[in-house]
């Protein structure tokens, strides 16, 4: 069982959480002047790193709040979590 730490509720079973994709994607602004290439970058292109990945999660089976997490894609370990709007913590190997 993978344990994920919700910033509000504490450690819970991974079954209570939903994955929400890569974090810190910036919507092209102003939207009515964005080019097709900018939209394609925003909607489809992802970094897909081998290593630390900043991603969004929702505690769907609990407080239903969204938060950000840093996961090591090599080991599937969640390294750290932080609330939406906060700067990501510095992670070193």
Partner 1 sequence: MKSVSTSWPLPVRRGPLDNMGVESGPESRPAEVSLAIGERRMLGKLMLHGDPCADGFMEAAARCLGSSLPIEPNTISLCRVRVLWFGPKQWLLVTQPDDQHSVATSLRSALSAESFALVDVSDQMTVVTIAGNAVHDVMARLCSLDLGAQAMSPPRCARTVVARLPVTVDMRDKQPCFDLYVESTVAPHLWHSLQHVGRRWHPVVFRPPASIG
Residues that bind partner 1 (CB under 8 A): 1, 8-10, 12-13, 15-16, 60-65
Q: Which is nearer to partner 1, 50 or 64 (CB)?
A: 64
Q: How far is the CB of 54 from partner 1 (least distance, A)?
A: 20
Measured in degrees and rounded to the nearest 5, phi and psi for residue 36 equal: -60, -35
Residue pair 67/7 in contact (Cβ under 8 Å)? The answer is yes
Q: How far is the CB of 57 from partner 1 (least distance, A)?
A: 14
Q: How far is the CB of 37 from partner 1 (least distance, A)?
A: 37
């Amino acid at each position: 069982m993978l344990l994920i730490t919700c910033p509000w509720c504490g450690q819970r079973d991974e079954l209570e959480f939903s994955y929400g994709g890569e974090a810190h994607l910036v919507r092209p602004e102003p939207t009515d002047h964005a080019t097709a290439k900018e939209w394609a970058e925003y909607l489809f292109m992802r970094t897909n790193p081998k290593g630390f990945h900043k991603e969004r999660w929702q505690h769907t089976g609990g407080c239903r709040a969204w938060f950000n997490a840093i996961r090591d894609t090599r080991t599937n370990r969640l390294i750290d979590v932080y609330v939406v709007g906060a700067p990501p913590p510095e992670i070193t190997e």
